[in-house]
């Protein structure tokens, strides 16, 4: 993972706290990490957490004014060797499957040419929803990697599939070269 540029898209689920651990694991392995957060994600973990752990500013809004004018979502997409969406909520999965680009997280995904891995996290009823499963199949058909969620106690108190993959398992998936068909390993 040394020298890899990883763009982490954090969306609004309780599993966002695990994404902070993921940033730490990646940076300790020599990766440069930049983070994009949806507005909902900031309700669970603060941008400051990711800024401290990554050493980079967090992107929160496609309309943020910068010293130098930029099309930030395109620049981030071009910069990244790999994109990780963790947690991947039903909302961002649907947006990505449909090509919706209406905020920073979805515009980055829509403009990305890099390999993208999704780590879904949601209630087991949502995970089993036919529309969610159709969207998952669309992402896979588009060449995206979707990690199966774990099963167990969920934040809502239910038990079943829907737990976000553990950060260590996401790092392992990032290392598996055979899964990445979209871009040569740099």
Q: Which of 79, 90, 98 lies closest to 38, judged by CA?
A: 90
* Catalytic residue flag (residue 28): no
Q: Which of 25, 8, 50 is nearest to 172 (CA)?
A: 25
Options 28, 57, 110, 156, the catalytic residue: 156
Nearest of 36, 22, 26, 37 to residue 4 by alpha carbon: 26
- Sequential DSSP letters for 132-153: HHHHHHHHHHTT-EEPPPEEEE
Are 143 and 181 in contact by the 8 Å Cβ rule? The answer is yes
CA 33 to chain centre: 12
Classify residue 29 by burial, with Cβ atoms within 10 Å: 0-12, 13-18, 19+. Answer: middle
Which are the contacts of 114, defined by CB distance < 8 A and separation ≥ 6? Answer: 7, 77, 80, 81, 82, 83, 182, 183
- In total, the chain counts a number of residues equal to 186
Q: Which residues are catalytic?
A: 156
């Amino acid at each position: 993972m040394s020298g890899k540029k990883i763009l982490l898209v954090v969306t609004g689920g309780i599993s966002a706290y695990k994404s902070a651990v993921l940033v730490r694991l990646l940076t300790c392995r020599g990766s440069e990490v930049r983070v994009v957060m949806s507005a909902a994600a900031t309700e669970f973990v603060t941008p400051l957490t990711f800024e401290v752990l990554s050493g980079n500013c967090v992107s929160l809004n496609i309309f943020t004014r910068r010293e130098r004018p930029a099309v930030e979502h395109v620049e981030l997409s071009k910069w990244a060797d790999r994109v990780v969406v963790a947690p991947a909520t039903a909302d961002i999965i649907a947006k990505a499957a449909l090509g919706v680009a209406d905020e920073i997280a979805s515009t980055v995904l829509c403009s990305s040419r890099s390999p993208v891995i999704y780590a879904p996290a949601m209630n087991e009823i949502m995970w089993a929803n036919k529309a969610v499963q159709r969207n998952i199949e669309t992402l896979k058909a588009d060449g995206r990697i979707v990690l199966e969620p774990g099963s167990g106690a969920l934040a809502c108190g239910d038990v079943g599939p829907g737990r976000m993959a553990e950060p260590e398992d996401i790092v392992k998936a990032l290392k598996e070269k055979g899964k990445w068909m979209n871009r040569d390993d740099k």
